[in-house]
Amino acid sequence: MNPNSKRREDYHKRHSSLNLQRNMALAEPAKAFKGSAFARICGIVAVLCVSFGLAWVAHMYFALHSAIDGEGGNYATSARIANRQPISVLILGVDQGLEGRHDKGNSDTLILATANPAKNKSTMTSIPRDTLANILGDPGNKYNMFRVNSAYGVGGSSASMRTVSALIDVPIHYYVEVNMKALKSLVDAVGGVDVKVPFKFSYDWCDFHKGKQHLNGRHAVAYVRMRHDDPRGDYGRQMRQRQVITAVVHKAISVDSITNYRKLVKIFSKYVKTNLTFNDMLALALTYRGCSQNIASGYIQGHDAWINGASIQVASTKELQKASDKIRTNLDLDKKVLDNDETKLNKLNEQNNNIKWTDPSPFTNYQIYPSVVTDESNDNSSGTGTSGANSAGQ
């Protein structure tokens, strides 16, 4: 064999081997680069998704917080709620703007709610708006004993809280004041509510059939406003109010309603006032949720009475005591024998006017004795109890 051919053959073999090794060395990193690029793209997409999700949640959080607490509001959670203690909340439905009203208005709805997370139990006690009570909370008011719903017109939610608290001797920690004009929008914002209609009726161009029925906002307003065609009068209406409020709360904290949070924020900021912070509400939704599955509903039964020409509901001491015991029990408080202006008036009327609570006829001889007004009441009012009944037409 030609020596030169031999050298050329050795040269090609040697360089072919080098080229193969060089190509293999280059090929492997190329495959690794393609794989890492795909992983990086997936990672970037995942990070963006998480970032957008966190941004949306943060936006929702601060939007809700701003609506409830205002700009620069309080971010703290109250110690009572943070420690999962029993709480009480006075729910006030204010009738301003409804039925042609344009003044401050009275509280058309009064419901005292309690929640005990340790027992997973709630109570909702309706207080008839015409219930006779000692109105507290405003040093400039001109009467003491009058309808409980007038407390809001006298001194707002603060006066309502003090008045109801004294009526049944229970602490009230928070309030939620809802302008009833918001009910339609609130119900629509949560996609409507389901209620069990107790009987067939029509009101304000809305028809209701007995049994389960889905209500939109307009129907919900008509459902809770009707009173005169209810066999139980205002007590039947209170039951329907509790139905709708409970249904709205359930829908508002459900996952399905998160997409409607913008509507809820707008409505809340315009129509709802409360001393609960946003973090309080968030904590309630997360840690008190079980209480909403076990709600004991009730009301304070009053007796019809005509006092100085005014139609008023007078609650017996037994009825007031029953409500006090139920609420105090769910707040983990010892029961207390009621001894307030209302029970003192009842005792005086039983002794002096032979009042019989078992008599179904309206009382016509129930009197308000100014002498029972407490020192606190005298400090908060310049008038007497009798003048309250005289102002019933206001």
pLDDT digits (tens, 9 = 90+) for 273-282: 889 887 888 8
49 in any annotated domain: no
For residue 3, name the pLDDT band (cuts at 50, 70, 90): low
CA distance 329 to 335: 7
pLDDT at 32 over 80: no
CA distance 393 to 311: 10
Q: What single string gives the DSSP state of each residue in 56-73? A: HHHHHHHHHHHHHH-TT-
The larger pLDDT score, comparing residue 381 to residue 178, is at 178
For residue 358, name the pLDDT band (cuts at 50, 70, 90): very high
Task: List the single range of 4-18, 211-225, 254-268 with lowest mean pLDDT.
Answer: 4-18
Q: What does the pLDDT read at residue 387? A: 36
- The residue-averaged pLDDT of 288-293 equals 84
306 in any annotated domain: yes
The CATH number given to whatever domain includes residue 162 is: 3.40.630.190
57 in any annotated domain: no
Distances (CA, A) of 310 to 7, 147, 151, 366: 128, 10, 17, 11
225 in any annotated domain: yes
The larger pLDDT score, comparing residue 281 to residue 39, is at 281
Domain extent at residue 191: 74-390
Mean pLDDT (the chain, rounded): 78
78 in any annotated domain: yes
Domain count, the chain: 1
14 in any annotated domain: no
48 in any annotated domain: no
7 in any annotated domain: no
pLDDT at 393 over 50: no
